[in-house]
Amino acid sequence: MTMSFKLNLNQTTPWTLLNLDTGQAVVGPYPPTSLTRNVASEIGTATSLGREHPIVQWLGGSTETIAFEATLYAETFLDRIEDKVEELFALARRDEALGRPPVVQFVYGTLTFRALVKELGGIKYGDLRPNGTYRRVDFAITLVRYEPLDMVATDPTAPEPSTRFHVVADGETWESMARDEYGEPMLGVKLRDL
């Protein structure tokens, strides 16, 4: 089944990258160009003797991304576009206090996307103004959907997660973990393969 949809975006609305950790925002004065959203799945296939088509298995979700190009302009003589570029750089770099890059919220029209900045590049500086600062900067940015990982279940009635974690102790083997977890040491071979 093929599904298509069209985002009804207000072309006069600026885009915003809101730093959810600090509340600071970078607002683009003009709509982004080449706005692209990618959603995918990890699919495994295996051929089988006597089958014309391979066996297809969904393995899990894949990284959802949004990429776009944008331009920032210095609106007044006192504006330093370099400061806005530094704010964008800060969104792409690891924050020492957080131990990760900031989480951002991208908003453009009806599209809202919580993400981390994967890449900020293609930075092109425009003409210099009489005061030595730049009049405009063009750039490309790629955002990756951010979903926090909660290792502790907050709802005791919730089903067990599909991914399980185990801290290995000295002397443990795949077989001893399989025996303790599943009651069958021979499943250690399967654990090792996974």
Phi–psi pair at 138, nearest 5 degrees: -105, 145
pLDDT, position 192: 81
* Residue 174 neighbours by CB under 8 Å, 6+ apart: 188, 189, 191, 192
Q: What is the mean pLDDT of residues 28-33?
A: 89
Distances (CA, A) of 13 to 8, 56, 98, 107: 12, 42, 31, 10
Q: What is the mean pLDDT of residues 75-102?
A: 89
pLDDT, position 156: 63
Q: In terms of pTM, does the model score above 0.85?
A: no
- Collapsing DSSP states into helix, strand and coil, what is residue 99? coil
Query: What is the Cα–Cα distance from 19 to 105, expressed in whole angstroms?
Result: 7
pLDDT, position 191: 81
Query: What is the Cα–Cα distance from 120 to 112, expressed in whole angstroms?
Result: 19
Taking Cα atoms as reference points, which of 117, 97, 32 lies closest to residue 68? 32
Average pLDDT taken over every residue of the chain: 84
* Residue 160 neighbours by CB under 8 Å, 6+ apart: none
Q: Say how many C-beta atoms besides its own lie within 10 A of residue 68's C-beta.
A: 20
Q: Bigger pLDDT: 141 or 51?
A: 141
pLDDT, position 2: 41
